[in-house]
Structure 1
Amino acid sequence: MAFVAFGSQAPAKEQGPSKTGRVALFLLLPGLFYLALFFITPLVSLIITSLKAPSATGAIGRYDLGLEFGNYAYAVTQYAPQIFRSFSFAVLATVIALAISYPIAYFIAVKSRNRPLLKGILLTLVVAPFFISFLLRTFAWKQIFSNDSLVVNVLKDIGVFGADSYIIGTNFAVVFGLVYNFIPFMTLPIYANLDRLDLSLVEAGSDLYASPSKTFRKITLPLSLPGVISGTLLTFIPISGDYVVASRDFLGGPDTAMIGNVVEANFLRIQDYPTASAISVMLMATIVVFVSAYVRRSGTDDLL
């Protein structure tokens, strides 16, 4: 006869690391190594450089290890206009890109859903700028907006521009170039989200006698919000650090310099490496704080 002792249980055998866990860790090692080598190491080096002090020899471009936190204060006070301008341009260009991209993405994803040929052509037009170098595209607009170009001459002939008016080197030219170059980064995420939109939900709103505008505000826009957030981040972040468009060699001028131009000048021409590094660290930290607050405020924490 077998006796069963209630309330007692044999101690479970301790489980060691599973084979699956070891395989997963082994597969992660290359990625972790890549992350440490190409992200963490440069970031640590950048922070160390931002705290260096001028060399005792006084040689240009020579700096010694130190804890010069004053480099950050100097960078802010010296380049406050460029810092403010960078984020102002980034916000403005992102808003304009969103206003242009959403209708385009909506038309391609929703209105052209049953017309694959038209849909394919429109998508090709959206990504077509990627087939040409970023520099060439920006330089092309410099030629179009140059002082002796057809565009400027026509604007002068019809009285929109005065005899001494110009476009290159103005805030308009820089913001225009930023919007033009980064619109695909806004359009494609919104399109990808709207392309998965269940149109039966929109039809249900119409069946319940909701107006088209109310149906859009209550159904389409909330469901497309993840695409809007992704497109906004993909646009705002690179624009904040851009230095090509605002450069004097392209669409910018003396009064349009952004943070990227300041970093480029301090690294390559002035050779003030601590200041350039301090600006870079502050730019990254500011973007992280802004993006985190923006994503949490918009209610899409899963994007973090």
Structure 2
Amino acid sequence: MTEIQESLRTLAHISVYVTWIIFSLAVVEAVVLKYVLKQEYDLAGAACSFSLKIVRVFSQSIPLLVTVPIGYWLSRHPIVDLSNYGAMSYLLLFIGYEFGFYFRHRFAHQTRWFWISHQVHHSANHLNLSVAFRVSVGEILMGAMLFHVIPLSLLGFDPITILGAAAIGGAIALWNHSTWIGKLGPLEGILSTPSAHRVHHARNPEYIGEKEGANFGALTVIFDRIFGTYMPERDDIKIEYGLVEPIRSNNPVTISFHLFKKAWIDLRQARSVGEVLSYLTSKPSDPWPPVRTDGVRYNKTTFIEDNQLGR
């Protein structure tokens, strides 16, 4: 067995353990909330989240076969090797992971290309521990490669260490998908607490704002504080969860691909490569069809005056 094969096997074991931990805790929460405390709980939504995770578990091997070899090669040719400083290396890896996660997560909300996949995680009209399972297959390649494996491998960390840290970080972040843990006093504004993450999952305009969301950090909100995207939970606003245009389906196929369908319809209206790139890199909330240089928007096969579109 080659080193890469052994590493993939190790990563698979870590992933399985983490998955079972999250699944067990999510099931316990569901039983307690629905059958002990008699609270409202979306069982169909939770089942949908679990099914999406199963699909990802069986499909993620393909992007990993691309990610891991590239990461190994880069880690053998680092710009600077930060992996040989003992305990300090783990701190540097954590900071690097947080930094990469922050920008990956922020871009996932602020560009259509990434949002088309990331919206799966936000499609639930409720928030509980099962939502941590509601993830897109596409994100593991687009997100992990660009924002974690490549930059951290160039700092000397091997891809299994990077992806293993990401898996462990995902397990730790499970707790912030809860609605029954209140504000945690001095920890607010430092850690990505349940209160901070409830704000992140909110579809209320007050929380989304011009930056397409808030509190993008993985385990902390330090980079949110640095880059101005931190927002505390407000007592005067009841949080509504889900997408701005809610999707009521619990069909995993519909949830995964409804925005791909919309993107295909939208892009058929593009008249140049530049407009295609503009569509994919612009904010999900930006208007479409685009305003042309002659002051009108293009809609399917006819031109319509900008002021007639009601936007």
TM-score class, shorter-chain normalisation, is under 0.3
The structure richer in helix per residue is 1
Greater RCO, 1 or 2 (C-alpha within 8 Å, sep 6+): 1
Larger radius of gyration: 1
With structure 1 as the length reference, what TM-score do the two structures score? 0.28
